[in-house]
Amino acid sequence: MKPLVVIAGAIHPDGMKQLEPEARVIVTDQVTEEGMIEVAREAEGILFRIRPDCTRALMTACSRLKVIGRHGVGLDTVDLKAATDLGIAVVHAPGSNSDSVAEHALMLILACAKQTLDVDRMTRKAEWRRPPKGNMELKGKTLGIVGVGNIGRRMARLGHALGMRVIGYDKYVPDEEVRARGAEPLPDLYSVLSEADVVTCHTPHTPETHHMIDGKAVAKMKDGVIFVNTAGLRRQPAAEPAQCRRQLAHGGGHGGDRTRDGHAGDGRDAAGAPGRKAARARQSRPLAQARASPVMLGKLWFWPKLAHLR
């Protein structure tokens, strides 16, 4: 009998065509560990998309399991130690979605630089005026890439295409290779953060990168920096949400307690806490917030808001 393969979420029909001659395939929309175990108890292979996590308990319960696949890139949802202990192979598809993610990151950078959401909203209301925060021209500005891997190197190409200076930091790629990938290598994260007008983060989620962009990191960034975090939509691994939100809601980099560019003082009350005016400004200017906030760009709710743009 052909082996049973369970797929956690539909995949492209071409993928199904390749798989079906080799295996009995079940596609499930189970997103919980219990639900997945129920479906995959006899499976020899499981292909995960985003949910559920592939835990030790799940692997142990599926006693015939030989291989775990991740549809896409990033293995942070798989308990690799457990897989190793249990002799289960783990595979993923490096490079498979790098162009797509780089295009998304570029879209977010441009949307922030050009205030796309504000302009769209104003146009729909027939308000023919400049967007409240003005535009940023990217040509001549500095693009900082954190993690110059498959996606990061594509971002370097896109940055050059826009006429930007491209700098990068990668802890594990030698300087020569970072240079070959199109970025000027800088010795550490903070050097990139303090020089870049636009920062884009493309590291995997590891204990080392978890909340790598914390309050201290934000404080190194320039005023009005655009920060894009596509390094993990689900877990926001690179950015520490609460602290960044606090600091960036006050106006972007260089420490949340200092008054700086246009939006710094917006609506802070006397004690320096964001007041009602700031809350209103956030509601009515999501792009401005996105421009300053790593949190917003990592949030799933952001995507539907862009979906209507043609």
Ligand X SMILES: NC(=O)c1ccc[n+]([C@@H]2O[C@H](COP(=O)([O-])OP(=O)(O)OC[C@H]3O[C@@H](n4cnc5c(N)ncnc54)[C@H](O)[C@@H]3O)[C@@H](O)[C@H]2O)c1
CB 167 within 8 A of CB 145: yes
Q: Taking contact as CB under 6 A, which single stretch among the options 5-13, 24-32, 225-233, 273-281 is the one that binds ligand X?
A: 225-233
Q: How far is the CB of 259 from ligand X (least distance, A)?
A: 32
> CA nearest 225: which of 188, 255, 203, 202?
255
Q: Which is nearer to ligand X, 168 or 274 (CB)?
A: 168
Q: Which is nearer to ligand X, 14 or 188 (CB)?
A: 188
- Concatenating the DSSP letter of every residue in 203-265 gives ----TTTTT-B-HHHHHHSPBT-EEEE-S-TTT--SB-HHHHHHHHHTSBSS-TTS--TTTSS
Contact flag: residue 202 with ligand X (CB under 6 A) = yes
Q: How far is the CB of 178 from ligand X (least distance, A)?
A: 9
- Of these, 70, 71, 133, 205, which contacts ligand X (CB under 6 A)? 205
CA distance 53 to 56: 9
Q: Which is nearer to ligand X, 39 or 68 (CB)?
A: 68
Q: Taking contact as CB under 6 A, which single stretch among the options 40-48, 83-91, 119-127, 169-177 is the one that binds ligand X?
A: 169-177
Contact flag: residue 97 with ligand X (CB under 6 A) = yes
Contact flag: residue 101 with ligand X (CB under 6 A) = yes
- Of these, 152, 159, 224, 256, which contacts ligand X (CB under 6 A)? 152
- Take residue 156 and report the two structure tokens written for it: 């370097």
Q: How far is the CB of 151 from ligand X (least distance, A)?
A: 3
- Of these, 8, 58, 173, 295, which contacts ligand X (CB under 6 A)? 173
Contact flag: residue 298 with ligand X (CB under 6 A) = no
Contact flag: residue 274 with ligand X (CB under 6 A) = no
The helix-helix angle for 98-113 and 116-124 (nearest 10°) equals 60
* Contacts of the segment 165-172: beta carbons below 8 A, 24+ positions apart: 165/140, 165/141, 166/142, 167/142, 167/143, 167/191, 167/192, 167/195, 167/196, 168/144, 168/192, 169/144, 169/145, 170/146, 171/208
CA distance 302 to 287: 10
Contact flag: residue 70 with ligand X (CB under 6 A) = no
Binding site for ligand X (CB under 6 A): 72-74, 94, 97-98, 101, 146-152, 169-173, 202-206, 208-209, 230-233
